[in-house]
Amino acid sequence: MISLDSPVVAVLGDHKKKRAAIEERLGLRSVDDLLRHFPRRYVKTGELTQVDELHDGDMLTVVGQIARSELATYKDRRTGRPAYRVDVTVRTDGPSFRISMFAKNQHMGEWQQQKRLPVGRRGIFVGKVSSFRGQWQLTHPQVVLFGSPDEDAAQLSLDAIGELYPIYPLTKGVDSWDLQRAVAFALTVVEDVPDVVPPEVREEHGLLDVRTALRRIHNPDDWGQVTSAQRRFRFEEALVTQLVLARRRRALRGLGAQARTGAEGGLLAVFDDRLPFELTAGQREVGAQIEHDLAQPHPMNRLLQGEVGAGKTLVALRAMLRVVDSGGQAALLAPTEVLAQQHHRSITAMLGDLAAGGMLGGAAEATNVELLTGSMTKAQRTAPMSRIATGEAGIVIGTHALLEEKVVFADLGLVVVDEQHRFGVEQRAALTDKAGTPPHVLVMTATPIPRTVAMTVFGDLEVSTLTELPAGRAPIQTNVVPLAEHPGWLERVWERVREEVAKGHQAFVVCPRITGDEQEQGESDQLDLDEDGNPVDRAAPGDGLAAVEEVAPLLADGPLAGLRVEPLHGRMAPDDKDRVMRAYAAGDVDVLVATTVIEVGVDVANATAMVLLDADRFGVSQLHQLRGRVGRGSHPAICLLVSRAEPDTPARERLDAVARTTDGFELSRVDLEQRREGDVLGKSQSGFSSGLHNLRVLRDEKTIIEAREAAVRLLDADEDLRHAPDLAQAVHRLEASVQADFLEKG
C-alpha cells in the first residue's frame, strides 16, 4: 500500500533510474514531498506560446508547431561516413526556432522527419536558447508531441492533460513530464491525504479540500482551478505559520520578567531635560510604547524599525536609561566592531557627564558605559568585565564578544540588538540567557519592512515604526552613472567629489571588494534570479570589480590628488580602523574609500557625497542604507550609483528604483519583489533562499491577514488544537524544523 510517507521511488515507475536526482537535488524523498512539489507555471496546450524578449542562454518552455521538417545529410568528421539529421523549424506566437534532431541512420532519419516530426504537429519544446547565424535555435531540446501514436513513454504523461500543462521546478536529468507522470500515478493510489485546514475554517474562507486542491494544482482544466488550488495551499501555509508565531507570542507573555518602571527624577529625566532639541512625534509615541512594555511583568519583545536617520538609537538609549533607573543593566549588541565603536562614541557623547559614573566630574545620577569587542586584549577587557559583573556598568555596548561565557552581568534587564538581521537565533539566545530572569528585548533595523513581512517573519514581536526624519535633514539627490552607455561620465564623478570637498565637506567612496577577489566578511554580491528563483551570479573573482586597496591609491594619485584619501575595511587592524574613523569624524580625512563596514551607524554630518562603485553588486536595501550615510547634516547631498549594468536588466532596475525614491518602505517592496523574503532578511536567518514555499508576503497580504485572524480564533477556542489533530501535527513539525529558526529572526 502506498501512503504519503512512502518513499518517492514507489511512484516513479519507469523513472526509478532518476531517483538520485529527484531525491538528492530536488529534495523529494517521500510521496508527500512529491505531491507538495507544485508546478511553477503552466503552458497552454491549445494555442502557441507567446514569446517576447529572448536572451542567449535562456531556458525556454513553449508550445509550438512544426512549420518545416527536412532530412539533411552531412559527413561525420570522426568516421568520414554519411550522417543524418532532421532540421525542424518550430513556430510560436513570436519568433521561430530551429531545432536539429540527429539520427543513427537514414531509415531512422526518414521516420523522424515523416512520422514523428511532420509539418503541422504541435508539442512542448524545452531547451536552451542560442543565436546562430541570425536565427534563434533550441539546443538539445526535450520534446513531447501531441497526437503522435508512435511517441515514447514520455507521451503517456499527456494522456490526462487538459488545456494547461504543468511545468515543475526541475534539476539536471529530470524532465517536467517525469514528475507529472509520477504525480498523476500518486494521486490515483494514495487514499489517505490528511487535511490540515479544519472544515469550519475551509467553509468560512471558501477553501477547497486538500484532495481536490492537489488534483487541480497538478492537473487543472482551466486557470480558475489553478487559482482556487493555489489560494488553498497559500492559506494553509499562512495558517500554520501564523499559529506557530501566535503560540510563541503567548509563550513569551507567559514568561515572568522583572518590571522596569524607572525612577522619578532619575537618569532618564535628567537626560531628557538636557536634550538640545525636541523629540519627534514618532519618537515620543514609540518611547511611550516601550515604557509601557518595560513596566509589564512579562518580557518586552519589540521590533523598532525606521528610516536611516530616523532616530532609533536615541529611542533605544532612552529605554536603556529607564532600565538603569530601575537598578538593571542594558546591553547593546552590534554586528561589527566599527558600529560598536560608533555607538559607544555617540552614546557617551549624548550622555556627557551622565556616562561618567563614579568618576571625578561625573553627574550624581551617572552610570558607566562600557565597550567590549573581540579585538580587545585580555588586559584591556579586565576592568570593563569587572564593572559589568558588579553592575557598575549600566550600559554595555559590544559585538559578539558580549556572548562569551566569561562575560557575566549583575542584572541584565534589557537587550538591544542593532541591525538584527545580522545575527542568528543562537546569538540572541546566548545574550538573553545571561539574565537571571528573561530580559526585555528590543531589536532594531534600518531596513524598513512592509507590514506583511513584519507580520509573517517578525510575527512574535510587537512592531514599532519611526517614519519621520528629525528636522533639519538635508535632501539627497541620487543619480545612476551608466558607464555601459557613457564611460566618460566617471571623470565627472570625481569632479563632483572635488567640488564637495572644496566646499569644506567630505565624501565616501564605497567598493564591493577589499581586494580583487576578497569581500567584506559576511557580505555577498547581489545576485540576479533565474525564472525558478535560483541565484545567478553575473560576476566572478578577478572580474575587475572595484576594490578598496586598489581604488584608494589610484584616486589619491589620480583624479583626487591633493585630497586626504584614506581606506577603511574589515581586514584592517582594529586600532587602524578606529584611527581612520575618528580622523574622518573630526574632518581630518576628505574622502573615505571603504567597503560596506560604513553601511550602518556611521554618523558624520559633514559628509555630503557618496559614490558607489559597481553599485549593481549591492541589494536595494543595502544601497538605501549606504546612501543614508550622507545628508545627515543641513547640507544638500549627492549619491552617485556608478555601474556597468546594461539597460533593462534586473541590476539596472534596482539602481533606477533607488535613484527614483528615498522612501525606504517603497524600496523594501522592490527588494522583496526582486529577491524574495529569505534573501532580503539575510541567509543567517534561514540558511536557504526562502522559508516560505507557496506564500509571497507582498502578493498574499490579504491571505496572511485572514490566516492570522483565523489562528488567533483557533487558539482562543483550543490552545492545544486537540480538535484539529492534523493541523496540530503540522504546527509541531514547523516548530521543530529548521524553519522555526527562520521565524526566530536572530
* Distance of alpha carbon 43 from alpha carbon 176, whole angstroms: 12
pLDDT of residue 232: 96
State the CATH number of the domain containing residue 86: 2.40.50.140
The reply to whether 525 falls in a domain is yes
Q: CB 114: neighbour CB atoms within 10 A? A: 12
Provide, for the chain, the percentages of residues in helix, strand and coil under a 3-state DSSP scheme, each rounded to the nearest 5. 40, 20, 40
The mean per-residue pLDDT over the stretch 576-598 comes to 91
The mean per-residue pLDDT over the stretch 33-47 comes to 82
Task: Map residue 576 onto helix, strand or coil.
Answer: helix
Model confidence pLDDT, tens digit, residues 682-722: 333 332 334 567 777 777 888 888 998 999 999 999 999 99
The mean per-residue pLDDT over the stretch 224-230 comes to 94
Shared-domain flag, residues 454 and 488? no
Q: Which of 190, 219, 181, 192 is nearest to 12 (CA)?
A: 181
Shared-domain flag, residues 413 and 504? no
Residue 284 pLDDT class (50, 70, 90 cuts): very high
* Distance of alpha carbon 612 from alpha carbon 618, whole angstroms: 9
Q: CB 136: neighbour CB atoms within 10 A? A: 20
When comparing pLDDT for 633 and 392, which is higher? Answer: 392
Residue 404 pLDDT class (50, 70, 90 cuts): confident
Cell of 479: 543619480
* Distance of alpha carbon 431 from alpha carbon 625, whole angstroms: 26
Domain that holds residue 280: 267-466
Task: Map residue 443 onto helix, strand or coil.
Answer: strand
243 CB-contact burial (10 Å; exposed 0-12 / middle 13-18 / buried 19+):
buried
* Distance of alpha carbon 311 from alpha carbon 324, whole angstroms: 20
Residue 456 pLDDT class (50, 70, 90 cuts): low
Q: Which of 738, 736, 668 is nearest to 697 (CA)?
A: 668
Mean confidence (pLDDT) of the chain: 82
Cell of 693: 514555499
Shared-domain flag, residues 515 and 379? no
* Distance of alpha carbon 580 from alpha carbon 570, whole angstroms: 12
Model confidence pLDDT, tens digit, residues 596-651: 888 665 678 899 999 999 998 888 878 888 898 888 888 899 999 999 988 888 88
Residue 372 pLDDT class (50, 70, 90 cuts): very high
* Distance of alpha carbon 121 from alpha carbon 69, whole angstroms: 10
Number of domains in the chain: 3
Model confidence pLDDT, tens digit, residues 151-191: 444 444 445 556 788 888 776 667 777 788 888 888 888 88
Shared-domain flag, residues 535 and 486? yes
Shared-domain flag, residues 441 and 511? no
Shared-domain flag, residues 383 and 527? no
Residue 591 pLDDT class (50, 70, 90 cuts): very high
Shared-domain flag, residues 435 and 500? no
- Residues constituting the chain: 746
- Least confident span in 79-93, 490-504, 727-741: 727-741
* Distance of alpha carbon 342 from alpha carbon 358, whole angstroms: 23
The mean per-residue pLDDT over the stretch 547-551 comes to 93
Query: What is the longest distance spanned by two Cα atoms in the chain?
Result: 102
C-beta separation of 201 from 17 below 8 A: no
The reply to whether 610 falls in a domain is yes
Q: CB 596: neighbour CB atoms within 10 A? A: 20
pTM to 2 decimal places: 0.65
* Distance of alpha carbon 70 from alpha carbon 86, whole angstroms: 6
Shared-domain flag, residues 510 and 619? yes
Asked whether the predicted pLDDT for residue 205 surpasses 90, the reply is: yes
The reply to whether 206 falls in a domain is no
- Least confident span in 526-535, 555-564, 572-581, 650-659: 526-535
Shared-domain flag, residues 167 and 126? yes
pLDDT of residue 679: 37
Shared-domain flag, residues 104 and 143? yes
Q: CB 50: neighbour CB atoms within 10 A? A: 10
pLDDT of residue 156: 41
The mean per-residue pLDDT over the stretch 48-63 comes to 76
The mean per-residue pLDDT over the stretch 565-594 comes to 91
State the CATH number of the domain containing residue 358: 3.40.50.300
pLDDT of residue 14: 63
Question: Phi/psi at 386 (nearest 5 deg)?
Answer: -65, -45
Under DSSP, the state recorded for 8 is: G
Shared-domain flag, residues 480 and 460? no
Q: Tell me whether strands 122-132 and 135-145 are parallel, antiparallel or unpaired.
A: antiparallel
Supply the DSSP string of 115-150, one letter for each residue.
IIS-TT-EEEEEEEEEEETTEEEEEEEEEEETT-TT
* Distance of alpha carbon 428 from alpha carbon 190, whole angstroms: 44
Instruction: Give the residue carrying C-alpha cell 512512502.
Output: 6
- Least confident span in 330-334, 362-366, 580-584: 362-366
pLDDT of residue 161: 58
Shared-domain flag, residues 410 and 294? yes
Asked whether the predicted pLDDT for residue 367 surpasses 70, the reply is: yes
* Distance of alpha carbon 597 from alpha carbon 569, whole angstroms: 6
The mean per-residue pLDDT over the stretch 290-295 comes to 95
Residue 337 pLDDT class (50, 70, 90 cuts): confident
When comparing pLDDT for 424 and 188, which is higher? Answer: 188
C-beta separation of 643 from 481 below 8 A: yes
Task: Return the sign of the alpha-carbon dihedral for residues 142, 81, 72, 115.
Answer: negative
Model confidence pLDDT, tens digit, residues 248-276: 878 877 778 899 998 888 899 999 999 98
Whole-Å CA distances, 267 to 41, 261, 389: 60, 13, 21
Asked whether the predicted pLDDT for residue 57 surpasses 90, the reply is: no
| CB-based contacts of 344, cutoff 8 Å, min separation 6 | 369, 371, 397
